[in-house]
Amino acid sequence: MFLWLVVSSLVSEALALNNGLALTPPMGWLSWERFRCITDCQKYPQECISENLIKRTADIMISEGYLNAGYNYVGIDDCWLEKTRGPDGRMVPDRERFPSGMKALSDYIHERGLKFGMYQDYGNFTCAGYPGVLGNEKLDIDTFVEWEIDYLKLDGCYIQPTDMDAGYPQFGKMLNETGRPILYSCSWPAYQEDAKILPDYAAIAEHCNLWRNWDDIEDSWASMTKIMNWFGDNQDRLAEHAGPGHWNDPDMLLIGNFGLTVDQARVQMAVWSILAAPLLMSVDLATIKPEFKEILLNRDIIAIDQDVLGKQGLRIWKKTDAGPRKGLEIWKRELSDGSLAMAFVSQRDDGIPYAANFTFEEMQLANQAFDVQDLYKDESDKLLQANQEFEVRINPSGVKFYKFIPKN
Ligand SMILES: *[C@@H]1O[C@H](CO)[C@@H](O)[C@H](O)[C@H]1NC(C)=O
Ligand SMILES: *[C@@H]1O[C@H](CO)[C@@H](O)[C@H](O)[C@H]1NC(C)=O
Ligand SMILES: *[C@@H]1O[C@H](CO)[C@@H](O)[C@H](O)[C@H]1NC(C)=O
């Protein structure tokens, strides 16, 4: 056992990207899901992709405690560029929306103790049609280094998915050669999965700190559960590739926007933390309602996501057919202190909170007693005796999220 541990840790060290970053899943804020490609600042001054939006977000991340809770990256997604490069071939940030330029914005972010994330695309164009990096890789990387960015999301529009196996590592090598540690987010497998090409996740984990596996998330329970179900259905070929420095990415948190109820938002926070997913908020922090803010700032759940063991959890039980436990599932993650995070999710959309019992076998627990703590703090702590059935009562499209601590 000991030898096996030593060997496997050597192997995973040798094969994983070694830039010292993302030892736990990245946390922060990213513009896309909420603000997309809103560029009309006359009409939508609070929402357009602009230095004002980024500065406002950075300020609130400090003043409202998001940075203290661990959300330290603030990132611009697509739609920050001018449609054409400058006469020197360089990327030009939109002159009206980023009048101070990217270095000044970067300084603003760094002065506040945050880190700066940016977006580009490996193809000829970004997904929204702005100039991509293809043919200008070196120049663009040098420009990003001059702007002192800390995180780069490299999208995969306007490039063949078959070219990505060579392209993404090549770009990563050029990033590494700059000597600046830049967290590298790859969209490589998402485009391959979409094209029905089986991604080489071992290679991806060797070159990227995180990678978007699949569909873009949309602001709805339907989209969120579709992604969650896909991660459960494909966990046998995904979960093993996650670990310190390299993570699967089911996409941004919808929490606080228009599409999820409070219960549904709690499901996303719980399941994303079981998945050791990056926690990237995409919400207007100036107007978020307190009940959603509270979910994003739940320290106990953030601690599950950020657990240093870095082991992605699994959907271990699921009931799809009829019967009293229809639509329920159990998601479980092993933690560094020997305890377990256990999310009991309901995808029922009928009626009321239903109660259900689960056996130790169904929960895949060792036959011993556990202290059980409710991570959303609705219930007081309880003791679960060995082999006793565990009763949970879950709201429709909701979750009960517990920490099971083995009792000595
Ligand atoms: C990118 O643009 C160049 C120049 O127009 C073209 O030759 C090349 O085929 C394009 N690449 C892709 C992947 O579309
Ligand atoms: C570049 O890669 C080497 C070898 O994996 C690593 O030791 C180094 O920290 C990396 N540097 C940066 C800036 O990513
Ligand atoms: C769960 O089991 C307990 C103990 O046997 C029982 O009292 C309770 O009614 C059960 N709950 C459900 C929902 O079946």
- What per-residue confidence (pLDDT) applies to 9? 47
**Torsion angle defined by CA atoms of residues 93, 97, 101 and 107, in that order, rounded to the nearest 10 degrees:** -120
Which ligand ends up closest to the CA of 356? Answer: 3
Ligand 1 within 6 A of CB of 44: no
Cα angle 58, 138, 203 (rounded to 5 degrees) comes to 80
- What per-residue confidence (pLDDT) applies to 16? 83
User: 379 φ, ψ to 5°?
Assistant: -115, 150
| Sign of the four-CA dihedral 274, 285, 257, 185 | negative
- What per-residue confidence (pLDDT) applies to 171? 98
Which ligand ends up closest to the CA of 163? Answer: 1
Ligand 3 within 6 A of CB of 195: no
- What per-residue confidence (pLDDT) applies to 322? 86
What is the distance between the alpha carbons of residues 261 and 280, in angstroms, rounded to a whole number?
Answer: 18
Name the residue of 19, 182, 206 whose CB sits within 8 Å of the most ligand 2 atoms, as the mutation to test its pocket: 19
The second-level CATH assignment, the architecture, of 314-406 is: Sandwich (2.60)
- What per-residue confidence (pLDDT) applies to 205? 98
Which residues are known to be catalytic? 155, 216
What is the distance between the alpha carbons of residues 249 and 312, in angstroms, rounded to a whole number?
Answer: 11
- What per-residue confidence (pLDDT) applies to 2? 44
Ligand 3 within 6 A of CB of 202: no
Q: Give residue 392 CA to ligand 3 midpoint distance, Å.
A: 10
CA-derived radius of gyration, the chain: 22
Q: Give residue 329 CA to ligand 3 midpoint distance, Å.
A: 18
Ligand 3 within 6 A of CB of 384: no
What is the distance between the alpha carbons of residues 142 and 164, in angstroms, rounded to a whole number?
Answer: 21
Which class in CATH covers the domain with range 14-305? alpha beta
Ligand 1 within 6 A of CB of 368: no
What's the one-letter identity of residue 57? T
- What per-residue confidence (pLDDT) applies to 8? 46
Name the strands in the sheet holding 370-374, side by side, starting at the edge strand that comes first in the sequence. 314-318, 328-334, 340-346, 399-406, 370-374, 382-384
Name the residue of 84, 122, 124 whose CB sits within 8 Å of the most ligand 1 atoms, as the mutation to test its pocket: 124
Q: What residue spans in the chain does CATH classification 2.60.40.1180 cover?
A: 314-406
What is the distance between the alpha carbons of residues 101 and 262, in angstroms, rounded to a whole number?
Answer: 38
Successive 10-residue mean pLDDT values, the chain, 408 residues = 44 71 98 98 98 98 98 98 98 98 98 98 98 98 98 98 98 98 98 98 98 98 98 98 98 98 98 99 98 98 98 95 91 98 95 94 98 98 98 97 96
Structure tokens belonging to residue 89: 């071939």
Tell me the β-bridge partners of 30. 75
Q: What residue spans in the chain does CATH classification 3.20.20.70 cover?
A: 14-305
Query: Residue 138: which H helix or E strand, with range?
Result: helix 137-146
